[in-house]
Amino acid sequence: MTSTKGLEGVVATQSAISSIIDDTLTYVGYDIDDLANNASFEEVIYLLWHQRLPKEDELAELKQQLIAHMPVPQEVYDHFKMYPIDKVHPMSALRTAVSLLGLYDEKSEDMSDEANYEKAIKIQAKIVTLVTAFGRIRKGLEPVAPKAELGYAANFLYMLSGTEPDAIEVEAFDKALVLHADHELNASTFTARVCVATLSDMYSGVTAAIGALKGPLHGGANEQVMKMLAEVGSVDNAEAYIKDKLANKEKIMGFGHRVYRKGDPRAKHLREMSKKLTALRGEEKWYEMSVKIEEVFTAEKNLPPNVDFYSASVYHSLGIDHDLFTPIFAVSRVSGWIAHIREQYANNRLIRPRADYTGPGMQKYVPINER
């Protein structure tokens, strides 16, 4: 047996959900550029779960189901209020809350296709409420109920702030959700599939995926990018800041990707939304700093930005707390996790790889008094 560090280049399964071929990302054969420019997030959810785009009545039904299932049990809100708020990262709260939801779903252990689809709707709907409610409760505010006339993206922003967002805010957030929805066999998706390959339930699979997404080398990168932008402070400081970090061999978050070689195809869409939103807010410096950092870093390392880099200034411009950036990633990516979980169930085999042993050779037990 030969081992590959980080499973790089290893093909672990077959999937009809998304692909990355020659630096082109597709969802069920649709180029991400096509979807980002034309599709709503609800359409993408349907596409990932059904392997086709919805018809008008199917899309309307999905939207209605999502709105109907957004409320969560009062016990979940009460649970949030028990947390040591000043010490709990929102991803830890989300991980615990999704697991908690499973306790209140009478079909959580029902593994039929029908029950699993119902759970898919519930989890996708309620994750919006979990993130926004925690974001408000920790500030001493009450959760905001969704509005039936608003779409998924608009409801997230409304439930977080209590104010209906304007059109460009909805456009930016909806596009971000589309871009983050799935990404082939990334770390959190692989974690979800490993979990449910044991025939564990969907809540367990999503909880496991959230745990994987929490790390700064996966979902936490955009939060770190915003921290970096705040440290840079101005465009004039950007070049010296980056060169100093590189000289000290410190990692710059938001650049490069394990899979892409020519560049992340999602980044350009968020770059454009960052430009629009920062101008709308009169805070162009965040976009301008990002552009300068990109210029300096790519000149030094020849590594283009990934999807995390410009999503940071987009979310900041939407007035979202920086530590909610990764939970937002989960709000989108749960659509892909669920698609992969259902695909795993449909053609399951326990995922059990081997390890290349590097420890000592055969040893003989020695009694404790002789050691």
By the 8 A CB rule, do 148 and 67 touch?
yes
Give buried/exposed letters for 27-38 (b at 16+ CB in 10 A, else e).
Answer: bbebebeebbee
Cβ atoms of residues 130 and 76 within 8 Å: yes
What the block records as the tokens of 265 is 């195809």
The reply to whether 50 belongs to the active site is: no
If one counts every other C-beta atom within 10 angstroms of the C-beta of residue 265, the result is 19
Give Cβ neighbours of residue 80 (< 8 Å, ≥ 6 apart): 93, 97, 133, 134, 137, 138
Active-site residue (options: 69, 308, 316, 340): 308
Q: Catalytic residue among 69, 180, 183, 257, which?
A: 257
Q: What are phi and psi of 225, to 5 degrees?
A: -60, -45
Task: Determine the 3-state secondary structure of 316 from DSSP.
Answer: helix
**Helix boundaries (H) for 69-201:** 74-82, 90-103, 113-137, 152-161, 167-180, 187-196
Residue 308 annotated in active site:
yes
Active-site amino acid positions? 257, 308
